[in-house]
Amino acid sequence: MRLVILFASPTTRKMLRIPPTTSALRNVFSVEYTATSNTGVTQHDHGKPSRQHVAAQQSAAGDLPHGPRLPEDFFRQNLPTSPMSSTEAREREKAQCEEAKKHEKKKKKKKKKKKKKKKKKKKKKKKKKKKKKKKKKKKRAS
């Protein structure tokens, strides 16, 4: 199988081991790929298998780093036996939405209170500084 890559990004060039280009005219490359028969994952022509190919081989052998593979019907077995009715699901969603809205309102109130406190503190500080400066000037004049 022959792929023609037009205007490939630097990351794809690195993955496909294509040399970096300097001009736009040299951006047309063709890369040879040979398809493997057992996994259906592509492999590079120059002998080194691609990362995907190696991962496919490892998973087929069952020696992945995170442990043995789970059986295919594992998630089907552990499904809940009695599915929720649509009305129960809607009620649960409504309750969750209401809780989230309440939580957001509380956060907004807290933010407003903090802003008000900060503004009041700043004003008080400014007033005190002005008074102190005036007193100092009076003492120097006398």
DSSP bridge partners of 47: none
Environment class of 21 (CB within 10 Å of its CB; exposed 0-12, middle 13-18, buried 19+): middle
Ranges of each domain in the chain: 2-67
Map tokens 């009715």 to a residue.
Answer: 85
Instruction: Give me the pLDDT at residue 25, please.
Output: 43
**Two structure tokens written together for 106:** 């509380």
Instruction: Give me the pLDDT at residue 116, please.
Output: 74
Q: What is the dihedral of CA 110, 115, 117, 118, to 10 degrees?
A: 140
Tallying the residues shown for the chain, one arrives at: 142
Instruction: Give me the pLDDT at residue 119, please.
Output: 65
Instruction: Give me the pLDDT at residue 24, please.
Output: 46
Tell me the C-alpha distance between 42 and 44, whole Å. 7
SS3 content of the chain, % helix, strand, coil (to 5): 60, 10, 30
Instruction: Give me the pLDDT at residue 90, please.
Output: 86
Instruction: Give me the pLDDT at residue 92, please.
Output: 87
| pLDDT tens by residue, the chain, 142 residues | 555 555 667 777 777 777 665 544 444 445 455 555 454 445 445 556 566 666 666 655 555 555 566 666 666 665 555 566 778 888 988 999 999 999 898 888 888 887 777 666 655 555 555 555 565 666 666 6
Instruction: Give me the pLDDT at residue 43, please.
Output: 47
Helices and strands (H and E) in the chain: how many: 4, 3
